[in-house]
Amino acid sequence: MTLRINAEAPNFTAETTEGTINFHEWIGNGWAVLFSHPKDFTPVCTTELGYMAKLKPEFDKRNAKIIGLSVDPVANHAKWAQDIAETQGTAPNYPMIGDTDLAVAKLYNMLPAEIEGGSDGRTAADNATVRTVFIIGPDKRIKLMISYPMTTGRNFDEILRVLDSLQLTAKHRVATPVNWQRGDKVIIAGSVSDEEARTIYPDGWEAPRPYLRLVPQPQ
């Protein structure tokens, strides 16, 4: 299955460290971040899951739930949580999916390519999910997709930054420029005419080019 930005996020039912969930029902009316890691009891993953636990209050402020996944069983996730707490200072405080039959991994294209063959015949014993991140909106549509190599730990601060941008642009007809951070100037969307923009932004805007109209971030 080919996943694309603005396509509906595939729904699924899965076992997690917080019980069985239906993904779309679990998301509810908020946002969600689904991220996979290759394997429990591995070094890079340990650092990632601990850091994501520390960031959870920031996602909570943004009405965004976070949920992890690997092909390891839920029981392994629970045992590993102690190691994460002891080495990173915080245990996972969000659900972790135990995708032992690879159903979700296949549904979300989280498995690495093989030289021969496809996903048929894969088992949890000889496969691991790559470091994939999805941001899913309240409309259950995919807003962001990123895949990282197994040897590179993710920058979850960047995921939070993108979430801020997505939520801002969902509310206001603006875009965010390169390296944008909360509070920085934003770009008036191209779909907004100058005439309409004068109504929305009566104080005007900065325009180094007619197509590049910068204004303070709307509240």
Give the residue among 187, 194, 193, 139 at the shortest CA–CA distance from 165. Answer: 187
**139-166 as b/e: b if 16+ CB within 10 A:** eeebbbeeebebeebbebeebbbbbbbb
Do the bridges between strand 64-70 and strand 31-36 make them parallel or antiparallel, or are there none, so unpaired? parallel
Q: What are the b/e assignments for 77-94, b being 16+ CB within 10 Å? A: beebbeebeeebebbbeb
CA angle, 9 then 11 then 14, to 5°? 130
Catalytic residue selected from 83, 99, 139, 194 = 139
Catalytic residue among 40, 45, 72, 164: 45
Question: DSSP strand E in 41-125: where?
Answer: 64-70, 96-98
The token pair at 172 is 């206001």
Q: Is 194 a catalytic residue?
A: no
The residue among 166, 167, 136, 144 whose CA lies nearest residue 11 is: 136
Phi, psi at 54, each rounded to 5°? -70, -30
- Residue 203 a catalytic site member: no
Beta bridge partners of 209: 212
Catalytically active residues, by annotation:
45, 139
